Structure 1
C-alpha cells in the first residue's frame, strides 16, 4: 500500500491502486533496478481490473498511478456503483503464512488472495481466511501480515465439490489476468467474440442475433444458484435487464472482470485462449436505407405544439407525452430537436446544515462504547486502533472527520502501541492457561498468544510480564 500527499494536501491512500509511484521510484536507492511499470504490473491489482478495458482507458489509469491524480481510481473504475465489490478485508492462506514464517520469519499479503471471490489458495487448495485488516478504507492504517492478524489454523471447507471445481477454474483464469500476459481488446471485439462462441453453441442465429432466453437458461443450468450468489452475480430471470442479458450487448457499460471470467468459463474458453484469439465476426448486419416517410414540417409543428401545451416539463416528460413523434424527430431531425426542445433541470435540495458539536458528542459516545466492547470481548484480544474502533462502531471514513474534534482526540488517546497490546495478549494467555488448569510456561504463553514458540524477543517480554514488571 502506498500513501502520498497530493497537491491539495489530502492523503491519497489505496491498497489496490496506489498513486505517485514515480515519486516513490525516485526515492528508492540509486542502485535499485525496480521500475514504475514493474511496481504496477507485479505488485498492484492493475492487471486484473484493467484486463478487459480498452488500451486508451488502461493507459489513463496507468498514468494516474504513475503521476497521481488526487482522486480515487477505484471510483473511476466503477467500484462504488458496481454490483461486484472487492473484499473489504484482506485475506490470506494459513498454509502460505506458516511456510513464510518458517522460511523467512515474516509473511506478506498476496495479490491473488485479494481478487474478488477467490475462495481457495491455488498453491495449497485450502480455504482463504479473512482478517480484520480493512482493504477499502481511504484512510487506512499500516498492517503487517503477522500473528496479530493471521494464524496457521486451516478452516474446514464449507463448499461442495462442484463449487470448488468451478472456483478453481475461475482462479486459474484470474492468475492469467494477474500475469499481464495479454494484448488489449476493444469492447466491440470482446462482444463479437462472445457472439461467435454463442453462435457455435447454438445460442445465436447465423447472423449473430442472440437467443437470449436460451442463453440465460443454459447459463443457470451450468452454474449452481448458490455459486452465483457467492460470485456476486445472481441472475434475476424476472428482470428483463439483468446483468447477463446486458452483458453481451455493445452498450459501453462497465463490466466486472469477474463476470467476464464467468461468461468465458461457461463458454468453455480460458482467459488465455480468449486473449490470443485475433479473428472475430460478430453480428452480420443487413444494410437497409431508412428514409423518413412523414412530412417534416408537419412533424415539427406537432412537436412544437406539445412543447407549447406543456410548459415546464423536461425532455423525459415530453417524450412520454409524444412517444412515437419524439422517436421520429430525434432520429431524423436531431439538430432541430436540440434547438427547440427545452432542458429543464430540477434544483437540488440544499443539504441540511450539520450540527458538528452534537455530531461530535454522539460519535464520542459511540467510540467509547466501541473501545469498551473491544477491551471486554471474549477470546483473543484485539488491538485498539482507529480502524478497529471504526469497525466496531460499524462505520468507515466519516469518523475521521477533522470537525469531530473530541472524538478524534479520544481515539488518539486510547490507541494502543504495539508493546502495550502484546502485554495485554500475554496477560490474557496467562489467564486462559490458569483457567484451564494448565501449567503456565513461557513457551505455552507464547503459543497461546499467537507469537510462535521461537521468538526470542517475545520470550523476554513474556518473562518480564510473569515477573510482574508490567502491572
Structure 2
C-alpha cells in the first residue's frame, strides 16, 4: 500500500505519476514499488492505456479523493482513443482498464491492426521542460506529447523531440521518469516549414480539445453520416451519397501535402493511372464495421472544416435549399412569396450533377429548382414549373373572362404568353385575344407544333428584355452582355434575331455630337452604385474597369472612351484594386464569414475560405495574422 500519492500535474500521464512515486518512495527495487501500487510485482508498466486501475485505488492512501474515472479521463490517453468509439465499445475499454483485462484493450480499440504505429520513445517539449524545472523543480511526461501524429506542443507551438526513454523498455515493469538527462536535444533542432507547422499546430489543438473536453460517444454510422453530408455540401458527393473519390483524394492530398501526411503516418499513394493504392480515407468513410485511428478522423474533419465540438455534438444535415418553410412562387395565390411550403423532395440531376428540389405547395403549385442555394435571393428562383395547380388555373379562367390581352394575362400570371396559350387550350377556354403586331406578337407568333416552342420563347424573351434594358447598345455589345442567348438564337432562330436586333448605326455624315459631360454625370452615378454593390453584396469581386463595366452593361464604352469621362475616370482610378488589394479584401471577407459560422480563425481556414493560392499565402501571412489578432482582441 502507498503511504502517499504524488499530486498529478496538468496533463500528466498516470505512468509519469507512478514514476515520480517510485523515485520519492525511496524504493531501490521496482518490484517493491509495484507491490506498493498494485499489491503484486507482475504488472506491466503501460504508458497510454494502463489497466489494473482498481488495484491502484485499493492501495492509495486513506482519505484520497481519486476515482478510476478521474484518473482515466485526466491522466491516460483514453479520451483520445475512445472518442470515435460507440458508447458500448468505449465502456468495455474503460472496464478493461479498471479491471485486469489489459490484454484486450488494444484489440478493442483497433490499434493492433492499425497502420499508425506507436512512438518508439517518449516525446518532450523543450520549453515545457524548462518551465517545469523552474516552477516545479522536476519534469513530467505530458499525455498529448505521446500521441502518434502530434508533432508540436499546443502550449508553445514548438516541435516535439524524442527523449532517450523508450516507450517499451527492456524492463516491462519499470517506470522511467522524465529528467533533464534523458530529455536532451542531441541533434539539429527541428524547423518545420510554415505550411507543415500550421497543420501540425491545428491537429495538436484539436487533440488537446478532445483530451480536455468530454465528448459524447457516437456510433461509426454517426460519423459516416457526418462525413457524407459535409462532402455533399462541399460538392465531393452527390445527394445519393456517391463520392467523387478521385476528386476527394486529390483535394485531400493537395490540402495536406504528401510530406505532412507521411509525418503523421497517413499518406495516400497513387499508382500510374492516378488511382489510390493505399486508400485508408475511402475505407474510413464507407466501411461501417471497421474503426480507424483517431488521428485519421481528425485529419479528415480538419480538411472538411468541422471542429471537434461539432463533429460530436452537432448533426450535419445536407440542406442545399436551406431550412423549411420555403416560399410559394405561385403568383396567382394569395400567399405568393410567403414561406408556406413544408413539403420538398430532394432529387439528383443526372445531367447537371446538382441537387434538385421539388417544392410542393398545398395550392397545387409544384416547381423545381436546381441547387444548391448560394444566396437568400436564390430561394425565389424557379428552374421549372412542374404543375400550376387549381388556384393558378382558376385565375387563368378569371383573367380570360375579363378579356384581358394575352400579354397582360401572361404578366399577371408571371409566365410567358406561350404558356398561357398552352393552358388555355388544355382547359378548353374561350379566348378573346387579338392578333396584332408589335412586341407581343414577336413572342406569340411561333408555330405551336414546334417541339422547342417553350425554349424558343424563353430565349426570345431574354433577348428582348436585354434590348429593353440597354436600348443604346449595339448588337455586338448585347452579344457581349449575354453570349449564351445570342449564340442559341443565332444557331436556331437567326431570321428572328436579325429582325429584332438593333440596326447597324451608320457613321457616314454623322453630325450628331455626344454630350460627354452629361454622359459622364450619368455614368458616374451608375458606376458608383455598381462599385458599392460589389463591395458590400455577396462574395468579393475584384474592382476593375472591366468588371464594373460588365456589371452595368457598358464595358466597351469604359474601356475605349474613359478619357472622355473625367469624373468617372477619377472615381474608378481611386476604387480599382490591385491583385494584392483584392486578396486582402478577400481575407477580410473570409474572416467575417468564418466568424458568422462560429469557426476558429486559423491561417489555413482563412486562406481556403478566401480562395488564396498557395504561392500567394506567404506574402499575405502578415496581413492574415493581423486580422486574426484584431478579431480576437474584439472578442475579448
Whether TM exceeds 0.5 here: the answer is yes
Partner residue, 1:275: 312
3-state DSSP of counterpart to 2:44: strand
Shift of 1:72: 5.0
* Preserved CA contact (<8 Å) 1:95 1:152: no
Partner residue, 2:83: 51
Residue 105 (1) aligns with residue 137 (2): yes
Any gaps of 5 or more consecutive residues in structure 1?
A: 287-471
Distance across 1 between alignment mates of 2:156 and 2:298: 22
* Gap change, CA 1:224 and 1:27, over 3 Å in 2: same
Residue 34 (1) aligns with residue 48 (2): no
Residue 199 of structure 1, aligned match among 232, 242, 252: 232
Partner residue, 1:76: 108
* Gap change, CA 1:169 and 1:154, over 3 Å in 2: farther
1:156-235 alignment runs, 5 A limit: 156-235=189-268
Residue 281 of structure 2, aligned match among 244, 257, 265: 244
Distance across 2 between alignment mates of 1:115 and 1:20: 22
Residue 95 (1) aligns with residue 121 (2): no
TM-score, structure 2 normalization: 0.42
Residue 61 of structure 1, aligned match among 93, 110, 113: 93
Any gaps of 5 or more consecutive residues in structure 2?
A: 1-14, 19-33, 320-344, 348-636
Question: Residue by residue, what CA displacement relative to the aligned partner does 1:319-358 show, whole Å, maximum 9, x if unpaired?
Answer: xxxxxxxxxxxxxxxxxxxxxxxxxxxxxxxxxxxxxxxx
Question: Residue by residue, what CA displacement relative to the aligned partner does 1:105-140 show, whole Å, maximum 9, x if unpaired?
Answer: 111100011111211111222211111212145815
1:376-395 alignment runs, 5 A limit: none
* Gap change, CA 1:12 and 1:142, over 3 Å in 2: closer
Partner residue, 1:358: none
Question: Residue by residue, what CA displacement relative to the aligned partner does 1:44-74 show, whole Å, maximum 9, x if unpaired?
Answer: 0000011001111100010011112152522
* Gap change, CA 1:175 and 1:220, over 3 Å in 2: same
Distance across 1 between alignment mates of 2:244 and 2:132: 51
- Relative CO higher for 1 or 2, CA cutoff 8 Å, sep ≥ 6? 1
Distance across 2 between alignment mates of 1:59 and 1:99: 37
* Preserved CA contact (<8 Å) 2:38 2:59: no
* Preserved CA contact (<8 Å) 2:161 2:185: no
Question: Residue by residue, what CA displacement relative to the aligned partner does 1:66-109 show, whole Å, maximum 9, x if unpaired?
Answer: 11215252243232321111212101111111111111111110
* Preserved CA contact (<8 Å) 2:152 2:159: yes
* Gap change, CA 1:72 and 1:78, over 3 Å in 2: same
* Preserved CA contact (<8 Å) 2:237 2:243: yes
For this pair of structures, how many residues does the alignment match? 285
